[in-house]
Amino acid sequence: MPKLNLAHIHLHQQPDGTREICVAPEYRAHGTQAAAYYQARDTTPVALRITTAFLPFEQRQPENQSAENLNFAALAHCPALQRLSFSEYRARQYSNLAALYALRHLTHLTLPHQSQPKIDLAQFPQLRELSCAGKGNAHNLSQAASLQRLYLFSFKNKDLSALGSLKKLQQLTLIRPAIETLNGLTELLQLETLDIAYARKLHDISALQQCPWFKSVALPAKFQG
């Protein structure tokens, strides 16, 4: 493995103890090498975050701009990577997706909250936690059968029936969904926590009456009180 280069890497520890490696897109090879180094050193979980958020303000990616391409070739340095986030770096297209799909041990994935490009979730059989734009940039979401925690932004469906195959789902968060009803919720027998915010079209929550196993439910203000 190449000599570890920390010059363009920002390290910090997440609340759950995970060692997070933040790296700007142009130095992602350094980030993947660092991830491989720390994974080989001890058993502390390692997360790789491709972002410009930790850079000085003038060097960050503007919110209204997207890069031309995000190349995943550097991920080949760390095939055992379990946690990956590139939600804060927007690109018009991805290249070398084979290197991304080779991460067969990936358990946590955070995608940009935009509709394109799409990532095939069927390639990650161990994926347990996903955050993304509502199905827009996540192909084969229904095949992510190991998912336990799901965070969807701008989910486009009118109800939740499309999520019925996610039998292991324990936590579901929907931000600005287009749902009108909670139909399909009864299929999620392992679900314990439901959080729905800014759901302007939601008018029917009667399906909740058939889900007595829920431990925590948060709904828009119009359903409270």
- Judge: domain 137-225, CATH 3.80.10.10: yes
The predicted-structure confidence for 8-59, as pLDDT tens digits, reads as follows 788 989 999 999 999 988 888 889 989 988 988 888 999 999 887 777 776 6
The whole-number pLDDT of residue 164 equals 94
The predicted-structure confidence for 128-150, as pLDDT tens digits, reads as follows 999 987 656 678 999 999 999 99
What are the extents of the domains in the chain?
Answer: 1-106, 137-225
d(Cα 10, Cα 54) in Å, to the nearest integer? Answer: 8
Q: What value does the mean pLDDT take over residues 154-181? A: 95
Tell me if 119 sits within 8 A of 101, measured CB to CB. Answer: no
Kindly give the residue spans of alpha helices, DSSP state H, lying in 18-71. 28-41
Helix, coil or strand: residue 212: coil
Task: For the chain, give the longest Cα–Cα distance.
Answer: 59
The whole-number pLDDT of residue 67 equals 66
Q: Which of 68-77, 86-95, 153-162 has the lowest mean pLDDT?
A: 86-95
Tell me if 218 sits within 8 A of 194, measured CB to CB. Answer: yes
Q: How far is CA 216 from the centre of its chain?
A: 21
Q: Taken in order 168, 123, 75, 151, is the CA torsion positive or negative?
A: negative
d(Cα 63, Cα 78) in Å, to the nearest integer? Answer: 29
The whole-number pLDDT of residue 138 equals 77
**How many of the other CB atoms lie within 10 Å of CB of 30?**
21
The whole-number pLDDT of residue 143 equals 93
The predicted-structure confidence for 74-127, as pLDDT tens digits, reads as follows 999 899 999 999 877 777 788 999 999 999 999 999 988 765 678 999 999 999
